[in-house]
Amino acid sequence: MKPLPIVAAALMLLSAGIGQAADLKVFCSTGMSSVLKDLIPVFERASGHKVAINYDTSNIVLGRIKAGETTDLIILTSQVIDDLAQQGKVAPGSRVDLARTGMGVAVRAGAPRPDISTVEAFKRLLLSTKSITYTGTGASGVYFAGLIEKLGVADAVKAKAKIPPGGHVADLVAKGEAELGVQLTSELRGVPGADYVGPLPAEIQMYTVFSAGQFAGSKEGAAAQALVRFLATPEAARAYQAAGMEPG
């Protein structure tokens, strides 16, 4: 991804009236990691704030919060943010939708790209591939586990599947530990050693909206709000699009 225009970002942040530099802690879905690894350094240079991000699947993040861990900002699926707001963990009215992404398929770099243009073609691929990987938690993993049940191939897929609890399954594909990876598009694209094939057929596609919510009781609320404003700028929107996501 090309560097973002720091001048525009800096002007936006300065106009927001940012005060003293802060150390921000963020819990974030791995589905946003490929984008934020480029956006966060831009925000830090423009604002003077420092951001420490912990990436994981929604289920694992929720477990950490339930165990008593605190943060300043949470970036997870919109439904999870809403649930956390109802529980009093996210400040009421602080949800901001950032981008949405669908699910797709990845293979090892240089491998033939399989046909996934139709549901039947995708089903044939699931049955013919020697090994497959998808996460055991998170929006994509939960959805895919249900999808293979509906397609009637669950037993065959599970018998040859590598199912990590979280992370980027394209890393396993790149290492040759699985021929096929199925996950959110934003998690598959840009992984060295893996090629993104394309999205799932429209009839079985699932979209995930990622939203930000301020953690209730955060002592760095102003800085957290500044980061959210930055993540909703045109500069950020271009980064989402480059990662195969739809802004807003």
Distance CA 248, CA 246 (A): 7
One domain for residues 71 and 144: no
Q: What pLDDT, on the 0 to 100 scale, is given for residue 8? A: 52
CATH number of domain containing 136: 3.40.190.10
Q: What pLDDT, on the 0 to 100 scale, is given for residue 19? A: 60
| 76 located within any domain | yes
- Tokens read off for 124: 């044939």
One domain for residues 31 and 153: no
DSSP three-state, residue 138: helix
| 15 located within any domain | yes
Distance CA 176, CA 198 (A): 19
Alpha-carbon distance values, 24 to 6, 43, 54, 78, 177 (Å): 20, 12, 11, 21, 36
Residue 94's nearest CA partner among 235, 212, 218 is: 212
8 Å CB contact between 186 and 243: yes
Q: What pLDDT, on the 0 to 100 scale, is given for residue 11? A: 47
| 118 located within any domain | yes
One domain for residues 53 and 32: yes
Q: What pLDDT, on the 0 to 100 scale, is given for residue 12? A: 53
| 45 located within any domain | yes
The last residue of a domain, from among 186, 204, 222: 204
| 94 located within any domain | yes
| 16 located within any domain | yes
In terms of residue numbers, what domain contains 229?
Answer: 6-100+209-247
For the whole model, what pTM was predicted?
0.83
Distance CA 160, CA 162 (A): 7
Per run of 10 residues, the mean pLDDT along the chain (length 248 residues) is 47 53 93 91 92 91 93 95 96 95 97 97 98 92 96 98 93 97 93 96 97 94 94 92 89
Distance CA 214, CA 198 (A): 33
Indicate the number of domains in the chain.
Answer: 2
| 1 located within any domain | no
One domain for residues 120 and 108: yes
Rg (CA), the chain: 19
One domain for residues 61 and 115: no
Alpha helices in 16-107 (DSSP H): 33-47, 58-66, 78-86
8-state DSSP, 72: S
One domain for residues 118 and 27: no
**Count of Cβ atoms closer than 10 Å to residue 82 Cβ:** 14
| 214 located within any domain | yes
